[in-house]
Each structure stands twice: as structure tokens, then as C-alpha cells.
Amino acid sequence: MALAHTLGFPRIGADRELKKALEAYWKGDLAQAELQTVGRELRARHWQLQKDAGIDLLPVGDFAWYDQVLSHTLALGVIPPRFHDTLNDQDRPTLDTLFAMARGATASCCNADHGQHAQELTKWFDTNYHYLVPEFSIDQTFALNWEQLFDEVDEAHALGHRVKPVIIGPLTYLWLGKAKGAEFDRLDLLERLLPVYGEILNRLKAQGVEWVQIDEPILTLDLPLAWRSAFERAYHILQYSPLKKLVATYFSGLQDNLGLAVSLPVDGLHIDAVRDPEQLGQVLDRLPTYKILSVGLVNGRNVWRCELEQALAQLQPAQERFGDNLWVSTSCSLLHSPVDLEREDRLDPELKNWLAFAVQKCGEVAVLRDALNDPQAPGVQQALAASREVQASRAASGRIHKPEVQARLAAITPQDSQRRSPFAERIERQRAQLKLPAFPTTSIGSFPQTPAIRLARQAHKHGKLSANDYQDAMHSEIRHAVEIQERLGLDVLVHGEAERNDMVEYFAEQLDGYAFTRFGWVQSYGSRCVKPAIIYGDISRPGAMTVDWIRYAQGLTDKVMKGMLTGPVTMLMWSFPREDVSRRVQAQQLALALRDEVLDLEEAGIRIVQIDEAAFREGLPLRRAQWQEYLGWAVEAFRLSASGVRDETQIHTHMCYSEFNDVILAIAAMDADVITIETSRSDMELLDAFEAFEYPNDIGPGVYDIHSPRVPDTAEMVALMSKAVQRIPAERLWINPDCGLKTRAWPETEAALVNMVAAARQLRSQLA
Ligand code: GLN
Ligand code: ZN
């Protein structure tokens, strides 16, 4: 009989209970025992939800207090010395160790004068989830050190559940980490690491576990040869440890690692047939049928209902070949889905009927299993018919396809993505009109989001503050921001973004084709969650979205006011996208809507418009072979949004990260007149990429890090810019912070900007 399982379930809770408990614990408002209780209750509830939905094998080990990679790091004893004063009497890590590694050591949990910085946070493959990067030293040792997984297995057994513990595989774990201190190859640590895996498997065996899921998502990446051979080595060694092992791969296809994956000496393989349906056929041909084949056909990363009949058709050949050895699953862990659609009491019923969150996805996996095992079983035919009806109702719905959007898409010409003149000519016209000094100073857009601003926005949203009063409140914030910028002597001003809750949601709320949930939270990192908007239909712009605010701001000053928009690629990356049209088409639709906004701003007399593309780099596919395709449409979408304007209108873009080497050509191809980027944390190193390739347009390399309240002094910023001047001609350089200032408070913001303006003046006099 085919079996239903999930690769993992969201741990945050339908009401973000874990978030609330964690934050209360960190503030000292919740005792550790109470926090433990919240965790235990969430685990129990999540197992029961999955079981009730029909899942046979329940995941354990998907719960984490902060991050599953961090839990595994503790389990393996990879604890950098700077956190050792949080260990207990037996030199074992504690919850305080875990939180110190996640958030940095503060006075409350360790000796304040150690003030240890947290481990680095980085994106989990191509998702918006962030994990804590393990730090390996050259003499790294590993020791089983943390009981959480075993305790949770006991907990689940005590509740009568049949479980499948989930652990991160040894190769993926090493791959995700970083060598610290000396230069060495972290793959050299494998032989030292494997015995601890052996120990973990032995312990689980003693607890009566039958199957373990070993996550090796790096099998879907372009792997260096050494790593591929290490897979064979590692799993041959682990072969002698007990338990049936299911190696889980997800987020992309196995491709050139397919031969390797199917021949590992393990008992089962999971593949992601949502991201790469083609690989299913190849795996059917090559995976020995005495092994378990687990097929993920219910998408763990999006919110749409699964097309059950289509999925069933894909599963049928697998069943013919694998029979009872076929398992049905989600494509990846449900960590990346919102928890429960049933909570959404305000969603439009038609739209709601098209969606499935984690709980509903478990039900879909179970239906697929039942349909394979016994198509006549009660409920199966109804479920299939319901799914069919949903697809039909969607196809027939008038709200998805908009003829006017289709017509505009069809009418796009190559000229639409082309500024009228090349940069060299444009910049002359812009300089003549803008009359800015050398090293012009500006900021990235947002100013501090004070409690007063948030309160006003909330009150307005809940109908407690009239539109007029809200407008007055925002206008007064804009006046405040403009006054300060004038007083400080900045050259290009911004209105400060007080009216924006979030750089994507603000625009999504004003576009047609977007829907919003009340509880559709997905964990981003630790206690942080995001609630992405859902693109359900063709995107259009009923009216101007920012023009009134920016025009008001420009009216307050003779200086240049920069308009501020979120770009099409970022809008798409930070939303749940449609699955019935390509990402390229959705980006084009967004680009057309933004293009109209850019033109309306120009029409309103705004001479500089910034189009933020914070998510441009992260949209890059996992496999290099797919990069060109992505970069092609991403660049085109940006250009489509930006290219309607006259030569005199200056287009800025902003990207707040520092790994540009891979995408520098594409960034140049975006052809923004000015790009502001993050550089201060890398000591301007990043500019090497821009120099090596001779980036042609203007650049504002961020001169200070806005992620910390620290106020950098003028000399420091001058020193950084002096490095920049060695690489980029001075007349093409701008001076600005790394990113938006919304998370900062006013005192440090003003102090830092005073110094920044002073640095610009100093540089100008040096230049003269
Ligand atoms: N304009 C935005 C801001 O200043 C940019 C934010 C970002 O790049 N993440 O907040
Ligand atoms: Zn930024």
C-alpha cells in the first residue's frame, strides 16, 4: 500500500504562538518552563492535525526553537568558543546557548563584556526562509550534544504516533556551513562528522524508530566533483548504521546528480516533482524498485490547491513500477506554507476555494494516497471531482484574465524596454537639469518608522482615523522628514515612506490581481514571519499609488525629491505567484503597472524615480543552467518599468546585498542611471566586481551600515569613499547609506547623516 507522509510541518503555529512565546521569553515575560509548554503543545497539535488529515508517517525534528539548522548544529556540538560561557555544568548547550548563537549574546544570558555576535543568517536555498550558518574551525570536533530530537521522538511515541525523524544530511550540513579562522576545505571534516550520525541513528533505533528522513537538498545543486564523490563515501559508511533511510531532495531536479542519488546505499529517495516533474520519468527508469520512491507532488511552497487528477496521472506510472514501495508527499517541507486556510474568515469565498495551506495540503497528500490504494474508498471520487470543479471554476472565472492586460502584453515592443538615448547622453541632460554637486548625497528611501506612524496607520486601517486625519498625520511626517533633510544639507531628498507598512504590500494593496490573507504567515527567521500577498489574476493599476505623497513632498522643497517604487522582480519574488502563467509574464504585468506609475510621477514634476529591486539577486535559480533565462526576463521587466521616461528623468535602483559577481552583467543591463548598493560591511570590496567589469553608470556604494544603531564618524566614511574613488571615477559616485532607515531611530539617523554630509563636503574639497 502506498503511504502518505510530509517532509515537515510549519512550527510557528496558526496564531504564531511560537513567535509570541519566544518574544515574551526573550523579554523576560515568560519562564523557560512555559516556553517549553508552548513548544510541546504546538508539536502535539501539529502531529494531530497531520494525522487527522490522513498522514501515515509524521515528521519529528521539524520543530525548532529558532531554526532547524541551528538545532542540528547544537546536536552535533558545533558551538564556537565565543558561546561557551552559556554551556551548563556538564559543558552541554542550553536554550540560552541556542538563543545566543541565534541572536548574539546579551547581558541577560551571558557576561555582557563578551557581547558576542550571533551566527550569520542566510537564505535557505531559494526560499525566503533564513538559517543560521554553522561555523567550522579547522580542528572542529563533533559530539552528540543535544537531546531535543530524541525527546521529541519519545513525546510523539507517548502520544501514540508513528513517526519518521527528520535530520539534515551530513553533506548538506557541511555545505551550509563556513570554514572560520584558517583556510581549509570543510569537506575534510566529513570523516569526523559521520560517527555522530551513526550515534544518532543508533539512538533512534533504540527508541523504536523504523524510518529516518535524511535531507540532502544539495543534491539538486551544481555540485563540485569532490562533493559528489563524498556522497558515495558518506552513505557507504552510514550503510552500516541501523534504520531505513529516506534521502530527501527538494527545490529543484536531480539532473546530473540523478545517477548518484539513485545508487546511494539507502532505502528510499524523495524527489520534488513540483519543481521538476520531468525527473520523475528518469527516476522511474533508474531507481531500483526494491527501494522506496517518495514523490512530492503537493507544492510545499505555494498556496494553490493541487490539481489532484493531474497529480494522480503523474503518480500512476510510478505505482505501476513501485507498487507498495511508492510514497506520496509534499514537494518539500510545509515550513514554507501558511498553516491553515480555515482561519481565513474574510477571504473572498471564490478565491478561498482555490487555495490550500499546510493543513489542507496534508489532506491532498492523503487523497492521492487513497486514490492509488483504493480508488473506490469513501471520499476519493468526491475529492477528485471537487478538485476538478475548482480547476474548472478557476478557468471560467472572470477575475483572472483581463483582456486589457492581455492586450497591453501583446503590444509590448522591444523599444518599450529601451531608454531613448544611451546613458552617456542621458546623464549629460540629467546633470544639466539636476545641478547636483559632486558626490551627491541621498538616502535609500525610508526614514524611521516611529510608534506614532505605526499607530496612525493601524488606526486608519481599522477605521478609527478618518482618511483626512490620516493624510494630515502622514503629511506632518513628510514635513518632518523634509525639514530634517534640508537642515542636514542632503542633495536629493526622499519623502520617507511613512505611509508604507512594507515595500511590497503597500503596492500590492493598490494593484488589481492581488489578494491578502489575515493569517497566512510564513516563518522567515527565528520569530520573524512574513505574510506574502497572493497574485491570483492579471495585474493592473486602477490609479496612481504614490503620486500624491511624492508631489506633496516635492511641494515643500526646492531640492530634488526622489520618487520611490518597488520594482517588478521584487514584487514578484516576495509574493505567492500564480502557477497558471509563467513568472516572466507576471513580472511583465507588474512592470507595466509600475511603468505607468513612473510616468505619472514624471508628469507630476518628479525628476528622479528610484525603483527598488531588493530581491533581484535572490531570484537567481539554484542551477546555473537556468540563470540566463531568469536574468533575461528579470532585466527586461525592470527595463520595461523604467524606460518610458524622458532622458532628463533619472532612474535609480537599489539593491541591498553584496554578492554581485554572478549578476554584474545583468545589473549593468538594467541600465539604471544610478544604482545604490550595500558595500560598507564588505569594506568596499564589492566594488571590485564593478571595477573589474567597468560598470558604466553612476553608483552609490553604501557608506554606512544601517543594520546597527552605531553612528559612524566622518573619517570612516571618507576612508571608504576614498577606496571607492580608486575604483570608480569620482564623477560617477554618490554618497548614501546602505539601505532604508526605517528600522532605526531618529537620533542615530540624524547623527549618521550629519557625518555623511560632512564626508561628502570633505570629499568635494579634496576633489577640488
Ligand atoms: N526604499 C526602501 C527603503 O528605504 C528600500 C528597502 C530595501 O531595499 N529593502 O526602505
Ligand atoms: Zn536595501
Task: For ligand 1, pick from 442, 497, 738 the residue to mutate: most ligand atoms within 8 Å of CB.
Answer: 497
**Phi then psi for 495, rounded to 5 degrees?**
-85, -15
Residue nearest to atom 8 of ligand 1 (CA): 614
Distance set, CA 198 to CA 63, 74, 149, 170 (Å): 22, 16, 15, 11
Alpha-carbon span 91 to 146, nearest angstrom: 11
**Closest ligand 1 atom to 444 CA:** 4
Alpha-carbon span 738 to 444, nearest angstrom: 8
**Closest-CA residue to 650 (of 633, 664, 666, 671):** 671
Ligand 2 centroid from CA 702, angstroms:
10
Alpha-carbon span 523 to 531, nearest angstrom: 9
Residue 707 is among the residues annotated as catalytic for this protein: yes
Alpha-carbon span 358 to 33, nearest angstrom: 28
3-class secondary-structure state, position 632: helix
Residue 255 pLDDT exceeds 50 = yes
Q: What is the pLDDT of residues 301-328, one digit of tens each?
A: 999 999 999 999 999 999 999 999 999 9
Q: What is the pLDDT of residues 149-169, one digit of tens each?
A: 999 999 999 999 999 999 999
Alpha-carbon span 544 to 549, nearest angstrom: 10
Task: For ligand 1, pick from 506, 654, 675 the residue to mutate: most ligand atoms within 8 Å of CB.
Answer: 654
| Pocket (CB within 6 angstroms of ligand 1) | 444-446, 497, 503, 564, 612, 614, 654, 656, 739-740, 742
Over range 347-371, report the average pLDDT.
97
Over range 552-563, report the average pLDDT.
98
Q: What is the pLDDT of residues 188-225, one digit of tens each?
A: 999 999 999 999 999 999 999 999 999 999 999 999 99
Over range 585-606, report the average pLDDT.
98
**Closest ligand 1 atom to 443 CA:** 4
Name the one residue in this structure whose C-alpha cell is 532628463: 648
Categorize the per-residue pLDDT at 114 as very low, low, confident or very high, splitting at 50, 70 and 90: very low
Q: What is the pLDDT of residues 572-588, one digit of tens each?
A: 999 999 999 999 999 99
Which ligand is located closest to the Cα atom of residue 612? 1
- Of the listed ranges 48-62, 504-518, 598-612, 675-689, the least confidently predicted one is 675-689
Sequence-separated (6 or more) residues with CB below 8 Å from residue 641 = 565, 567, 568, 590, 591, 592, 594, 595, 598, 611
Alpha-carbon span 63 to 71, nearest angstrom: 9
- Beta strands 534-540; 512-515: pairing state: antiparallel
C-alpha cell at 420: 531613448
Alpha-carbon span 572 to 616, nearest angstrom: 10
Residue nearest to atom 7 of ligand 1 (CA): 614
Ligand 1 centroid from CA 740, angstroms:
4
- Catalytic residue chosen out of the listed positions 84, 114, 480, 707: 707
- Beta strands 326-330; 163-168: pairing state: unpaired
Helices (H), 605-663: 627-642
Residue nearest to atom 10 of ligand 1 (CA): 740
C-alpha cell at 485: 533633510
Torsion of CA 211, 214, 215, 220, to 10 degrees: -100
Q: Which amino acid is at 574?
A: W
Residue 767 pLDDT exceeds 50 = yes
The pLDDT assigned to 100 comes to 95
Q: Which amino acid is at 282?
A: Q
**Phi then psi for 459, rounded to 5 degrees?**
-60, -40
Sequence-separated (6 or more) residues with CB below 8 Å from residue 738 = 444, 656, 678, 679, 680, 681, 702, 703, 704, 705, 706, 707
Which ligand is located closest to the Cα atom of residue 446? 1
Alpha-carbon span 614 to 622, nearest angstrom: 18
For 247: left if phi > 0, alpha if psi spans -120 to 50, otherwise beta; the answer is: beta
Ligand 2 centroid from CA 421, angstroms:
28
Average predicted confidence (pLDDT) for the chain: 95
Q: What is the pLDDT of residues 37-55, one digit of tens each?
A: 999 999 999 999 999 999 9
Beta-bridge partner residues of 268: 246, 292
Over range 738-760, report the average pLDDT.
96
Task: For ligand 1, pick from 128, 444, 504, 742 the residue to mutate: most ligand atoms within 8 Å of CB.
Answer: 444
- How much is the pTM? 0.95
The pLDDT assigned to 106 comes to 59
**Closest ligand 1 atom to 445 CA:** 4
How much of the chain is in helix, strand and coil states, percent to nearest 5?
50, 15, 40
Categorize the per-residue pLDDT at 113 as very low, low, confident or very high, splitting at 50, 70 and 90: very low
Ligand 1 centroid from CA 739, angstroms:
6
Residue 409 pLDDT exceeds 80 = yes
CA 537 vs. chain centroid, Å, equals: 22
The pLDDT assigned to 110 comes to 39
Ligand 2 centroid from CA 656, angstroms:
4
C-alpha cell at 491: 542633495
- Answer whether 110's CB lies under 8 Å from 100's CB: yes
**Closest-CA residue to 252 (of 273, 282, 226):** 273
Ligand 1 centroid from CA 503, angstroms:
7
Residue nearest to atom 5 of ligand 1 (CA): 740
Q: What is the pLDDT of residues 483-532, one digit of tens each?
A: 999 999 999 999 999 999 999 999 999 999 999 999 999 999 999 999 99
Ligand 2 centroid from CA 486, angstroms:
23
Over range 86-109, report the average pLDDT.
85
Ligand 2 centroid from CA 676, angstroms:
8
Which ligand is located closest to the Cα atom of residue 573? 1
**Closest ligand 1 atom to 500 CA:** 10
C-alpha cell at 458: 493601524
Beta-bridge partner residues of 245: 212
Torsion of CA 734, 738, 742, 743, to 10 degrees: -160
**Closest-CA residue to 266 (of 226, 300, 239):** 239
Which ligand is located closest to the Cα atom of residue 742? 1
**Residue 25, Cβ density class (10 Å: 0-12 exposed, 13-18 middle, ≥19 buried):** buried
Task: For ligand 1, pick from 442, 612, 657, 741 the residue to mutate: most ligand atoms within 8 Å of CB.
Answer: 612
Which ligand is located closest to the Cα atom of residue 702? 2
Q: What is the pLDDT of residues 259-279, one digit of tens each?
A: 999 999 999 999 999 999 999
Residue nearest to atom 6 of ligand 1 (CA): 740
- Answer whether 132's CB lies under 8 Å from 66's CB: yes
Residue 544 pLDDT exceeds 50 = yes
**Closest ligand 1 atom to 564 CA:** 1
Residue nearest to atom 4 of ligand 1 (CA): 740
**Closest-CA residue to 299 (of 347, 345, 350, 368):** 368
**Closest ligand 1 atom to 740 CA:** 4
Over range 16-34, report the average pLDDT.
97
Residue 292 pLDDT exceeds 50 = yes
Task: For ligand 1, pick from 503, 504, 570, 676 the residue to mutate: most ligand atoms within 8 Å of CB.
Answer: 503
**Closest ligand 1 atom to 614 CA:** 8
Ligand 1 centroid from CA 615, angstroms:
11
The pLDDT assigned to 111 comes to 39
Sign of the alpha-carbon dihedral angle for 664, 666, 671, 677: negative
Residue 109 pLDDT exceeds 50 = no
**Closest ligand 1 atom to 610 CA:** 1
Which ligand is located closest to the Cα atom of residue 503? 1
Name the one residue in this structure whose C-alpha cell is 577640488: 768
Alpha-carbon span 345 to 499, nearest angstrom: 27
Helices (H), 489-560: 505-508, 547-555
Counting residues of the chain whose pLDDT is more than 70, the rounded percentage is 99
3-class secondary-structure state, position 727: helix
- Answer whether 549's CB lies under 8 Å from 521's CB: no
Over range 227-238, report the average pLDDT.
98
The string of DSSP letters for 360-403 reads HHHHHHHHHHHHHH-TTSTTHHHHHHHHHHHHHHHHH-TTT--H
Which ligand is located closest to the Cα atom of residue 614? 1
Sequence-separated (6 or more) residues with CB below 8 Å from residue 11 = 18, 42, 43, 46, 62, 63, 64, 335, 523
For 345: left if phi > 0, alpha if psi spans -120 to 50, otherwise beta; the answer is: alpha
Ligand 2 centroid from CA 450, angstroms:
19
Alpha-carbon span 170 to 237, nearest angstrom: 12
Name the one residue in this structure whose C-alpha cell is 502531529: 47
Torsion of CA 658, 663, 669, 670, to 10 degrees: -50
Q: How far apart are the first and last CA of the chain?
A: 81
Question: What is the H or E stretch that residue 213 is in?
Answer: strand 211-215
The string of DSSP letters for 438-452 reads SS-B---SB----HH
Using the 8-state DSSP alphabet, how is residue 57 labeled? B
Residue nearest to atom 1 of ligand 1 (CA): 445
**Phi then psi for 409, rounded to 5 degrees?**
-60, -45
Ligand 2 centroid from CA 643, angstroms:
22
**Closest ligand 1 atom to 742 CA:** 10
- Of the listed ranges 95-104, 682-691, 746-755, the least confidently predicted one is 682-691
Using the 8-state DSSP alphabet, how is residue 306 labeled? P
- Answer whether 288's CB lies under 8 Å from 312's CB: no
Alpha-carbon span 80 to 69, nearest angstrom: 15
Task: For ligand 1, pick from 739, 742, 743 the residue to mutate: most ligand atoms within 8 Å of CB.
Answer: 739
Sign of the alpha-carbon dihedral angle for 579, 585, 587, 592: negative
The pLDDT assigned to 687 comes to 81
Ligand 2 centroid from CA 658, angstroms:
11
